[in-house]
Structure 1
Amino acid sequence: MNMALWIAQGLLAAAFLASGYAKSTQTKEKMIATGQTGVAPFSLPVIRVVAALELAAAVGLILPWATGIAPVLTPLAAVGLAMVMVGAAISHWSLREYKQVFAINGVVLLGCLFVAVARFADL
């Protein structure tokens, strides 16, 4: 189980590092052109705040648990990213991108919940 959790944490951290980096460095138009269409309803400052949250939570998925320093931050980071996924799903739903909601947002949300529940249980 621990190995599955580390794999999930690593995959989620990599995905959110990439997403957060893109949102923090690209224009809104470039994000939409490269497939991050869920940003369309939001202003650039809101997108940048979400980027910072994604980057911080990606680090929080790995470092606290790996170092044993404040390990409660790892499941809290997973909960925070789950909330980001709910917001992303709502955004994609409003854009009528239903396949995105279920295929991407839903799968990532389940991964975040898996990490959160299992790591809270390990505390």
Structure 2
Amino acid sequence: MTTVLWILNIVLAVAFLASGIMKATQPTDALVGRGLTWAAGFQPKTVKGIGVVEIVGAVGLILPRLTGVATALTPLAAVGLFVTMIFAIVLHQRRRESYTPALVLAILSAVSAVLGFILLF
């Protein structure tokens, strides 16, 4: 089960890190041009904040478990990313956009959280 959690967390961390870096470093207009049309409805600081949340979550999925320090933070990071994706699903659904990627990431984050909490005890 530990191997499954590591693989899952690495996949999630790569996805959230890539997405977060893009949101945190690109201007809002560039994001809209890349197909993230929802970003046009938010202040640039909000979009960058979402990117930072995703980056911190990605680091939280890996670093605590890797170092063995505060390992309870790993499933908590997964819970935080799950909540973030629930908000993304609601946003995309309201805009009548596809929310499938956010749904997949939400499900994988929930699985990671459950496995992470199971392995704590």
Q: Give TM-score, length-normalised by structure 2.
A: 0.93
Q: 1:69 to 1:4 in 2, by over 3 A?
A: same
Deviation at 1:34, TM superposition (A): 1.3
Aligned residues: 120
Q: 1:71 to 1:115 in 2, by over 3 A?
A: same
* Residue in structure 2 matched with residue 43 of structure 1 by the alignment: 43
Q: What per-residue deviation string (whole Å, max 9, x for no partner) do you get for residues 48-87 of structure 1? A: 1111111111000001011110001100100000111011
Q: Supply the distance in 2 between the matched residues of 1:49 and 1:70 (Cα, whole angstroms).
A: 24
Where 1:69 maps in the other structure, the secondary structure is coil
Q: Give runs of aligned pairs for residues 91-102 of structure 1, distance below 5 A.
A: 91-97=91-97, 100-101=98-99
Q: Structure 1 runs of 4+ off > 4 angstroms? A: none
Q: Tell me the C-alpha RMSD between the 2 structures.
A: 1.1
Contact 1:41-1:91 within 8 A present in 2 as well: no
Q: Give runs of aligned pairs for residues 78-93 of structure 1, distance below 5 A.
A: 78-93=78-93
Deviation at 1:41, TM superposition (A): 2.5
Contact 1:61-1:77 within 8 A present in 2 as well: yes
Q: What per-residue deviation string (whole Å, max 9, x for no partner) do you get for residues 21-63 of structure 1? A: 1111111121122132332322111111111111111000001
* Residue in structure 2 matched with residue 106 of structure 1 by the alignment: 103
Between 109-118 and 39-48, the greater mean CA deviation after superposition: 39-48
Where 1:40 maps in the other structure, the secondary structure is helix
* Residue in structure 1 matched with residue 15 of structure 2 by the alignment: 15
Structure 2 portions without partners, runs of 5+ = none
Q: Supply the distance in 2 between the matched residues of 1:36 and 1:88 (Cα, whole angstroms).
A: 12
Q: Supply the distance in 2 between the matched residues of 1:75 and 1:26 (Cα, whole angstroms).
A: 29
Query: Are positions 1:122 and 2:114 aligned together?
Result: no
Query: Are positions 1:28 and 2:25 aligned together?
Result: no
